[in-house]
Amino acid sequence: MKKLLVILFLISGMNLTAQRADNTPKAIIIPLHINQMRVSEKRLSEHYNTPVPQDSSWFEYRTGSKKVLIVAGHAAAHMREEKRQYADEGTGSLGIKLNHLADVSVFFTKYLSPSDPNYYDNNAFKDSLAIIIDQMKPIIVIDLHCAHPYRPFDIDFGTMNGKSYLMRDDLLKDLKAALKNEGIINFSQDYFAAVKNKTITKFVSNKGVPCIQLEINANYLSPDLGFVEGQKTAQLLQALIRFIEHVE
């Protein structure tokens, strides 16, 4: 009888292990992707502080087939109240790689922004964003930003105190779940609420489209700093791709 119980226990353990293995998805991010992000960000960094050339634009739109829009309005340095503000380094290359791997549209700045698109509404960036939203009609807009590496959170979700996702609680829940599944678990909500100024998140949600601002700790956007930061970047990239696939 004891032998039978031991055998049954071992079999049940094997079945449980098999079930867990079957439910574990295969990784989709490889080192090449992160190295490509490093190269992409290096190219962007060459123009962080460069005034927009004549007959050119200080932002770029790359289309995708998915109904998710990624915005990186601080991918380059920007002018706010006549003072130059630093770029949110890593957000531009993250958006570009999501465009490549997840086939989403991305809208980002690439030269010194004469008007901070996350602080003012009356500028060409917001005018173009309005047109993109009207034509694309996205399910959700993800507004990328970079937080100081000393912040105690991995991600702070800016939701205008729960208003920006327009009662689509499932979108925020699924986004958090996708991040947790990749090991990103230290969350904050509405420390940067995206409600104080004329933010991108406020602008988008006022147009009737759910939007969530992601304040991402710089340690997840700085693969150049080392192996640990590179892995964190890979986890973030994979989490966002999984979320986009789930939304679609």
* Percent of the chain residues topping a pLDDT of 70: 91
Whether 7 shows a pLDDT value over 50: the answer reads: no
| Res 19: pLDDT | 41
Rounded to an integer, the average pLDDT of 77-81 is 96
Question: If DSSP codes are grouped into helix, strand and coil, which group holds residue 197?
Answer: coil
Residue 10 clears pLDDT 90, i.e. is over it = no
For the segment 166-171, the average pLDDT, to the nearest whole number, is 97
- 236: closest CA among 187, 164, 184? 184
Dihedral of CA 129/131/135/139: which sign?
Answer: positive
What's the average model confidence in pLDDT over 238-248? 95
- Structure tokens given for 172: 């925020």
C-alpha to C-alpha distances, 54 to 27, 57, 222, nearest whole angstrom: 44, 8, 31
Within the chain, what is the greatest distance between any pair of CA atoms?
A: 86
- Considering only CA atoms, give the Rg of the chain: 20
At residue 22, the pLDDT reads 66
pLDDT in tens, 185-237: 999 999 999 999 999 999 999 999 999 999 999 999 999 999 999 999 999 99
User: pLDDT band at 14, cuts 50/70/90?
Assistant: very low
Q: How many CB atoms lie within 10 A of CB 36?
A: 16
| Tokens at 195, concatenated | 């409600």
Percent of the chain beyond pLDDT 90?
89
What is the pTM for the complete model shown?
0.90
Is 132 in contact with 61 (CB distance < 8 Å)? yes
Looking at every residue in the chain, the average pLDDT score rounds to: 92
Is 232 within 8 Å of 153 (Cβ atoms)? no
Hey, what domains does the chain have and what are their CATH numbers? 26-247 (3.40.630.40)
Residue 21's pLDDT band, with cuts at 50, 70 and 90, is low
- Does residue 157 contact residue 187 with C-beta atoms inside 8 Å? yes
Q: Return the amino acid letter for 65.
A: S
Question: What pLDDT, on the 0 to 100 scale, is given for residue 220?
Answer: 98
Cβ–Cβ under 8 Å, residues 201 and 158: yes
Q: Per the structure block, which two tokens stand in for 58?
A: 């200080």
- Please report which confidence band the pLDDT of residue 248 belongs to, taking 50, 70 and 90 as the band edges: confident
DSSP for residue 58? S
What confidence tens digit (pLDDT) does each residue in 98-122 have? Answer: 999 999 999 999 999 999 999 999 9
235 touches 220 (CB < 8 A): yes
pLDDT at position 4 over 50: no
For residue 215, the cross-strand partners are: 145, 156
String of DSSP letters for 126-164: HHHHHHHHHHH--SEEEEEEEE-TTSS-SEEEE-TTTTT
Is pLDDT of 47 > 60? yes
In the predicted structure, residue 3 carries a pLDDT above the cut 80: no
